A and B are shown apart, each in its own frame.
Chain A
Amino acid sequence: MSAEGAAAQTVRITYREAMRQAIREALIRDPRVFLMGEDVGRYGGCFAVSRGLLEEFGPERIRDTPLSESAFVGAGIGAAMGGMRPIVEIMTVNFSLLALDQILNNAATILHMSGGQFNIPLVIRMTTGAGRQLAAQHSHSLEGWYAHIPGIKILTPATLEDARGMLWTALEDPDPVLIFEHGGLYNTEGELAADAGAVEIDHAAVRRAGSDVSLIAYGGTLGKALRAAEELAAGGIDAEVLDLRTLRPLDTESILASVTRTHRAVIIDEGWRSGSIAAEVSARIMEGAFYELDAPVARVCSAEVPMPYPRHLEEAALPQAATVVQTVRAMVGKRD
């Protein structure tokens, strides 16, 4: 088969499976790579991402840990400093708070604090986000918080390509990289190039070109932004959808370039509005593209409440495509 033919071939795959293939490939390619976390082995991963890997790679490299987030994240930091390439899985972002001390006070600081002597090539993966009626201790989106911290990188794969391709690049990075997988994405299914592999992690990506407004989203909100764009298109508004992909470092250039094309921006973020990554993006637009704007920047974020359990309140608390559509219509002054 020609190289061209191979590239054109696609496979139908879920986000979960793309992630599993990425982990599997990393384990095969680099003997220093291992996966550790709660229930990643026998149980198959709490979201079934690592199912089957224990059987293939054994308990040395697929390590079930006790319930001790601070200990095993810290151990990941130590192992990374000791020459390994750990992938640490934390079940959900809410539990990562038990390891926040290790992430912030060690992983993010040691390189700088040691005068550049010790880098930490660690990858931490965790699930984030709401939408599954898991209430206030299992549903938050704290990646924006983590993006506040210098010394780490924050990736938010929203597409199959990124689920498949970001991990390897993260592992090659000399510094700690946190990957946030939105829980609502695991079952999304689509076509992925059969030879899909590593992707770059430095740039935002335009997922839909448009000229009237920039919808800036990431992770779990990308799908909502794309749906909103479709609906807006039906009403004659041409929205561009920018997927941030990486929350730290933010690709300011792509954000400003998009706003310079469209002159309007709506940021869609599942985090709480106050002090959010949406606030940061908005500030950068003010700083770098203020005179390009035809309207104030708008934000569609989660309501400032702990996530409630019942579906109708959870939906009311989350950013929705319909809210994005309304916001844009109000902004461009078109209604139907």
Chain B
Amino acid sequence: MTPTPQAASSNHPQPAGEHSLTALRQMILIRRFEEKCAELYNAGKIHGFVHLYIGEEAIAVGVIAQLQPEDAIVATYREHGHALVRGVPATAVMAEMYGKQEGCSRGRGGSMHLFDAATRFYGGNAIVGGGLPLAVGLALADKMAGRARVTACFFGEGAVAEGEFHECLNLSALWKLPVLFCCENNLYAMGTALRRSESETDLCLKASSYEMPAWPVDGMDVEACQDAARRALTAVRGGGGPLFLEFRTYRFRAHSMFDPQLYREKQEVEEWKKRDPILTFGARLREAGLLDDNVLKSIEDDVAAEIDRSVEFAEAGTWEPVEELTRFVYSERTRP
């Protein structure tokens, strides 16, 4: 079996002050940003499919903060949080949700297709498993060019059933490519529970069969995520090839904006909510004397202001002129 260093959440070292508050703030930013998105969806400002990350924030926050600016990220349609933590401005993300041309994809992608070249954010991808080959290719380019960069590839456990998952794990391990595979196992692919779609539900066992280290991580614990990511990135940067992290997590909301959730018990959702990554980490920070009501309030106020600015920005944004509909179907080599 695979070497699986215990990434358990039990014995935490003392959280370090400023660093921890940053992580807490990022998780709160994602949470409040998405709550606002849900509100704006119901108000008819945002359309299409919108997949909320609420409950899973610790993963994006824990992993992405450990990346270097030159590293790359490939994500899925559930990627608002990843974009925000990576530093895509909330204004540009919100404008994209609205479909305004000031959005990070010019408004053309919407919720599921956030792109940002400046932060090497290679997209939300709405084809399950569709991002994995891209990550393998980005890493291949880095390796061939002799660049010591890593590509972090996020995907849900549903993607594990796709052929592309297996093809990509194999290829990246075979060629020893610097990919960090981050599987966000929230137990359900839409309405399909993992145990109803996989004969072997131990995802690390599957990944390790491709000869790569594979570690389970408590995805509800931001420190466990940070710690695992840090160690994993060191290993990948060392040239040893890809590594697989399985983050065990849970989505608190529907798959997309609406679904009657016929496939799971309310009780189960409530149980997981007790492990809310923001609440549990907040409690730990309080115990360590790093957080009190005042500090929390200032974080919440600060986040609220940032979100207000993003909504104002999106509201003030403009629609791309229809005349530009056919721009960028092909590259513009010379533009007057």
**Which residues of A come within 8 Å of B, CB atoms?**
38-39, 42-44, 46, 64-71, 94-95, 98, 132-138, 303-306, 308-313, 316-317
Q: Which residues from B are CB-within-8-Å of A66?
A: 158, 161, 189, 192, 197-198
Of the listed residues B113, B164, B192, the one surrounded by the most CB atoms of chain A closer than 10 A to its CB is B192
Contact A42 B326 (CB under 8 A): no
CB contact under 8 A between A43 and B259, given known A304-B326, A310-B99, A312-B319: yes
A303's nearest neighbour on chain B, judged by CB, is B325
- Min CB gap B73→A, angstroms: 18
Would you call the interface of chain A mostly helix, strand, loop, or mixed?
loop
Contact A67 B189 (CB under 8 A): yes
Of the listed residues B100, B113, B126, B164, the one surrounded by the most CB atoms of chain A closer than 10 A to its CB is B126
Contact B192 A303 (CB under 8 A): no
When chains A and B are docked, how far (Å) is the Cα of A132 from the Cα of B50? 13
Q: Mark B234-261, 1 if CB is under 8 A from A, else 0.
A: 0000000000000000000000000110
Contact A67 B47 (CB under 8 A): no
When chains A and B are docked, how far (Å) is the Cα of A66 from the Cα of B199? 10
Contact B320 A313 (CB under 8 A): yes
Q: Which residues from A are CB-within-8-Å of B62?
A: none
- Min CB gap B195→A, angstroms: 11
Contact B113 A67 (CB under 8 A): no
Contact A133 B110 (CB under 8 A): yes
Indicate whether B69 reaches chain A with its CB closer than 8 angstroms.
no
When chains A and B are docked, how far (Å) is the Cα of A310 from the Cα of B329? 16
- Min CB gap A75→B, angstroms: 13
Indicate whether B13 reaches chain A with its CB closer than 8 angstroms.
no
Q: Which residues from B are CB-within-8-Å of A132?
A: 48
Q: Which residues from A are CB-within-8-Å of B196?
A: 42, 64
When chains A and B are docked, how far (Å) is the Cα of A246 from the Cα of B130? 31
When chains A and B are docked, how far (Å) is the Cα of A316 from the Cα of B259? 30
When chains A and B are docked, how far (Å) is the Cα of A63 from the Cα of B285? 47
When chains A and B are docked, how far (Å) is the Cα of A95 from the Cα of B17? 46
CB contact under 8 A between A304 and B319, given known A135-B108, A309-B107: no
Contact A135 B322 (CB under 8 A): no
Q: Which residues from B are CB-within-8-Å of A38?
A: 189-190, 192
- Min CB gap A308→B, angstroms: 4
* Contact of A98 (CB < 8 Å), options: B126, B162, B189, B326: B162
Contact A309 B99 (CB under 8 A): yes
Indicate whether B49 reaches chain A with its CB closer than 8 angstroms.
yes
CB contact under 8 A between A42 and B263, given known A133-B110, A304-B326: yes
Contact B163 A137 (CB under 8 A): no
Contact A138 B108 (CB under 8 A): no
- Residues 145-170 of B contacting A (Cβ, < 8 Å): 158-159, 161-164
- Min CB gap B1→A, angstroms: 23
